[in-house]
Amino acid sequence: MTKAIYPGTFDPITEGHLDIIKRAAKTFDHVYVAIMINAAKNCSFTLEERIKFVKKCTKNIKNVSIVSDSSLTVDLAKKLGCQVIIRGIRAVSDYEYELAQATTNMTLNNKIETYLLVAKPELSFISSSIVKEIATYGGDITKYLPKEIWKDVIAKLKK
């Protein structure tokens, strides 16, 4: 059984994230969506909110589980029995960052592979940061978020 982990802060989960999760779930026997706690990032949503959002969006995908952690991704992957780390890339700048991360992870645990999934063109510009910025200025973010959560996200960001 091939298990994969898809780590991120998901602050909030976007249609781009959800597309990567769905595609990974078709490829691997089990996918763990790991909502990571990163002290270097200033999240707009609490860990509990982010977990709730991801659970709502993935509830109908049978081979997906939600976990959270603050350790190194490779350590969590090993603990969960994952052979693969999934990362999504939208642009060349993402590739450069993800290449450095994948190479570092290889030096930490060479038994875990990193698979880069390229974002669909229509989703390649979406990021949690852009969604939050658009919302801050009163723009419509509903097309960038899964329908299960957009009302909750808008309500919080308007405060």
The active-site residue, picked from 22, 78, 90, 156, is 90
- Is 30 assigned a catalytic role? no
The active-site residue, picked from 50, 87, 128, 132, is 128
Tokens standing for 81? 């029995």
The active-site residue, picked from 26, 41, 143, 151, is 41
The active-site residue, picked from 17, 30, 50, 87, is 17
Q: Are 22 and 90 in contact (CB under 8 A)?
A: no
> How far apart are the C-alpha atoms of 149 and 159, rounded to whole Å?
16
- Is 90 assigned a catalytic role? yes
Closest Cα to residue 112, out of 77, 138, 155? 77
Angle of helix 47-58 versus helix 15-27 axis, rounded to 10: 60
- Is 128 assigned a catalytic role? yes
Tell me which H or E stretch contains 14.
Answer: none
- Is 17 assigned a catalytic role? yes
Catalytic residue positions?
17, 41, 90, 128
